[in-house]
Structure formats: structure tokens, C-alpha cells
């Protein structure tokens, strides 16, 4: 596993390089990844707007900020994502905002479909669900993982799928409405739980 992670780290970009890549590809009528379609480009366009808005408007809670400052050993947060993924667009700007608050955290972005060997080490219920965040210590050992959705959203998906059998367009729209109202609070609560676990070493 460690060899695959270190190999993938060589193929990562910064968050700004990632958002620039999404925007630049859209200017060419393209989405990230090898598969291209009108739908993927359409989703990428929506996500580009979401990320730009969230980059400007995201605010972290005082509790989140305090816990982030407790990280005193270097960490790499390796984020697996793609520009067309709606969940990634709603969560990656908040993850970036958290990483920016502490110089010990280095956020690196890996595109899923260019790093399937890495992705397949961190499947969710057997699927290549994104975004997926892997927190690594200074020796690239895995401290913890998060993704692909905040706990509340994960339950929403599971409940809807149990009742309706599939995740349809209506639910996807409802989920985006939830994200907009939640403003990253559920994601931050997830990370606070991770801080208590192994993002931060006990003193």
C-alpha cells in the first residue's frame, strides 16, 4: 500500500492547480478524466461555479480552527477527486480551507481515473466513490481516511436507496440543496471526530 501511495503522490497537484485545471478544460469543452460526454461537461461546469463560490464563502467554526492548530507534525492530505463529481465540488473547497489554516498540512490532489491503483486501495462499499481523503503522516503512513460524503449525507443516500432502489436525478438535486444549506457543518463535524481519533496525536 505504502509504495502505491508514494507513487501516486508523485502524480499529484495542488488544490489551486486542480481548480485551474477544471476551469481550463471547461474552456476547451472538456471534463477531467479520460471519459468525455455532454453530461460530464455539464456537471463540471456546475461544479466549477460551486467551487469558486465556496472558495470565497466557506467559513470554519472556531472549534474546527482550534483543533486544526493542534496538528504539530507534518501531514499530507491526499484528496482523490474529479471535476465532474458533485460531492467533490461541495467538499473539496472546505477541505482546502481547513488545510490552509495550518502550514503543517500539505493538501495534494490526485485525479481518480489517473490513479486507479491508489483509488482501489480506498474503496467505499466496493466502489470507487469520490471524493476520498487520505491523511498521511510525515512517513506517508495512513493516519485516517474520510469520504466520499459527510456522515449526514451518507445516511441520506442510504435511506433513499433503501426506499427507491436507485439514486435518481431528483435525489441528486435534493442532495445539492442540503449541501447548500448545511454550509460544510457536517463535514467539519466529521473531521472533529477524526481529530479525536488519529489526525492529532494525543499529548
In the prediction, which pLDDT does 195 show?
84
Q: Is the pLDDT of residue 93 over 90?
A: yes
Asked whether the CA dihedral 1, 5, 115, 187 is positive or negative, the reply is: positive
The percent of residues above 90 in pLDDT, for the chain, comes to 93
pLDDT at 202: 45
Per DSSP, what are the bridge partners of residue 110? Answer: 80
Q: What proportion of the chain, given as a percentage, has pLDDT over 70?
A: 98
Average pLDDT over residues 4-31: 96
- pLDDT grade for 75, boundaries at 50, 70 and 90: very high
Which pLDDT value is given to residue 201?
A: 53
What is the model's pLDDT at position 81? Answer: 98
Where are the chain's structural domains?
Answer: 2-199
- With respect to CATH, is domain 2-199 assigned 3.30.1380.10? no
In this prediction the pTM is 0.94
pLDDT at 27 over 70: yes
* Cβ within 8 Å of residue 12, ≥6 positions away: 78, 108, 109, 110
CA dist 136 and 99 (Å) reads 13
Task: Name the burial class of residue 98, with classes exposed (0-12), middle (13-18) and buried (19+) by CB atoms within 10 angstroms of its CB.
Answer: buried
Give the confidence band of 203 by pLDDT, cuts at 50, 70, 90.
very low
Amino acid at each position: 500500500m505504502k509504495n502505491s501511495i508514494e507513487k501516486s503522490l508523485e502524480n499529484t497537484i495542488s488544490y489551486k492547480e486542480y481548480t485551474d485545471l477544471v476551469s481550463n478544460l471547461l474552456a476547451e469543452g472538456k471534463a477531467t478524466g479520460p471519459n468525455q460526454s455532454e453530461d460530464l461537461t455539464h456537471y463540471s461546469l456546475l461544479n466549477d461555479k460551486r467551487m469558486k463560490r465556496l472558495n470565497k464563502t466557506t467559513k470554519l467554526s472556531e472549534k474546527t480552527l482550534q483543533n486544526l492548530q493542534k496538528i504539530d507534525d507534518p501531514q499530507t492530505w491526499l484528496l482523490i477527486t474529479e471535476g465532474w463529481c458533485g460531492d467533490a465540488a461541495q467538499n473539496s473547497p472546505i477541505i482546502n480551507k481547513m488545510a490552509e489554516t495550518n502550514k503543517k498540512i500539505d493538501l495534494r490532489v490526485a485525479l481518480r481515473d489517473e490513479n486507479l491503483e491508489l483509488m482501489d486501495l480506498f474503496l467505499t462499499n466496493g466502489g470507487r466513490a469520490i471524493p476520498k481523503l487520505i491523511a498521511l503522516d510525515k512517513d506517508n503512513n495512513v493516519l485516517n481516511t474520510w469520504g466520499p460524503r459527510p456522515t449526514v449525507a451518507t445516511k441520506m443516500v442510504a435511506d433513499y436507496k433503501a426506499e427507491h432502489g436507485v439514486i435518481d436525478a431528483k435525489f441528486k438535486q435534493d442532495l445539492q440543496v442540503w449541501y447548500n444549506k448545511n454550509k460544510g457543518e457536517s463535514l467539519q463535524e466529521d473531521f472533529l471526530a477524526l481529530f479525536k481519533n488519529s489526525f492529532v496525536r494525543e499529548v
